[in-house]
Amino acid sequence: MDDRMMRAVLFDRFGGPEVLYVGRIPRPEPAPGEVLVRVRAFSINGGELAARSGSLRLFTGRKFPQRVGLDLTGEVAALGAGVTDFAVGDRVWGIVGRTGFGSAAEYVTVRAERLGRVPDGLDLAAAAALPVATTAITALRDKARLRPGERLLVCGAAGGVGNAAVQLGRAYGAEVTALARAANLDFVRTLGAHHAIDHRTVPPRELGLFDVVLDTAGTDLRAFRRLLTPGGRMVTIAFDLARPAASLSYIAASAVHGGGRVRFFSGNPTRALFDDLARQVAEGGLRPVVDRYFSLEETAAAHRALEAGGVRGKYVVRVD
């Protein structure tokens, strides 16, 4: 077999999970400042579902084939010029970039500053559930400045970012209320939620008031913003893909109209944040939660499962 080639998940047109296939493409070489990673696992994220369907075509373009995979765990296979803080064989986790994809492959090149070391003793496949937790750290600690004793509402608490936010909220000393499907209420309680509420049966107006609201869906921003206490903070990591212009306009307008600005950001972690993630794991404030493992050839099935809803933690794809 030609070791200059590798397997990767590709798609040649926008559409449902069925457009994904495993093809063979040239193995990349690390440019200066980059690291070549032998990928062991990656997780399935909502952003790549949107990219695959075509909802993000303004950002991804229309040139095919396109690739999927945002985060990864693996081992350093080669170093680009100028990279001195990693060695071949180091166990790493990371993210390929804010708008880039491509970790659904046997190898991927990543800027060195977008990688961190996986804590000793943590299985690489399970660890693939955690890079997205850097988004929860940024949202709660840096954007919302969550303080001990404050009331935190996590919308979408059973998902990838949501389950990490519940764990971190508890670790930060907040009183955590988790919104999830009825079938996942016991699950979010095991993560540390003080209160678990079925979002399908309890409307937002009946939830009470919160110092911090973290929204992972972006589809009902107005309703959740109304739940903020005076001085409350709301952070969203998503906008309504069905009405993107209206949703983004509302987020922007919230900074100047009414009480409580909606803070929106897209996770783009660097080394320091991955170091923070490793510390949270080492201190016991955060653990990986994997709903189910898939093989590389089952990536389409993993996309289909995430679209169906009901995930508990993360769907992780093992590349081996």
pTM for the model: 0.91
pLDDT recorded at residue 99 = 59
Identity of residue 226: R
Instruction: Compute the distance between CA of residue 148 and CA of residue 171 in angstroms, rounded to an integer.
Output: 9
Reply yes or no on domain 133-264 having CATH 3.40.50.1980. no
Question: Which pLDDT tens digits describe the chain residue by residue (320 residues)?
Answer: 577 999 999 999 999 999 999 999 999 999 999 999 999 999 999 889 989 999 878 777 788 999 999 999 999 999 999 999 999 999 999 999 765 799 999 999 999 999 999 999 999 999 999 999 999 999 999 999 999 999 999 999 999 999 999 999 999 999 999 999 999 999 999 999 999 999 889 998 999 999 999 998 766 788 888 999 999 999 988 654 445 544 445 445 555 455 566 676 666 788 999 999 999 999 999 999 999 999 999 999 999 999 999 999 999 999 98
Spell out the domain ranges in the chain: 5-129+289-318, 133-264
Contact, 12 vs 63, CB < 8 A? no
SS3 labels along the chain: CCCCEEEEEEECCCCCHHHCEEEEEECCCCCCCEEEEEEEEEECCHHHHHHHHCCCHHHHCCCCCEECCCEEEEEEEEECCCCCCCCCCCEEEEECCCCCCCCCECEEEEEHHHEEECCCCCCHHHHCCCCCHHHHHHHHHHHCCCCCCCEEEEECCCCHHHHHHHHHHHHCCCEEEEEECHHHHHHHHHCCCCEEEECCCCCHHHCCCEEEEEECCCCCHHHHHCCEEEEEEEEECCCCCCCHHHHHHHHHHCCCCCCCCEEECCCCCCHHHHHHHHHHHHCCCCCCCEEEEEEHHHHHHHHHHHHHCCCCCEEEEECC
pLDDT recorded at residue 245 = 47
Instruction: Compute the distance between CA of residue 314 and CA of residue 308 in angstroms, rounded to an integer.
Output: 13
For residue 299, report the phi and psi dihedrals to the nearest 5 degrees.
-60, -40
Instruction: Compute the distance between CA of residue 315 and CA of residue 22 in angstroms, rounded to an integer.
Output: 18
Dihedral sign, Cα of residue 266, residue 69, residue 50, residue 154 = negative
Cross-strand bridge partners of residue 314? 290
Instruction: Classify domain 5-129+289-318 by CATH architecture.
Output: Alpha-Beta Complex (3.90)
Identity of residue 216: T
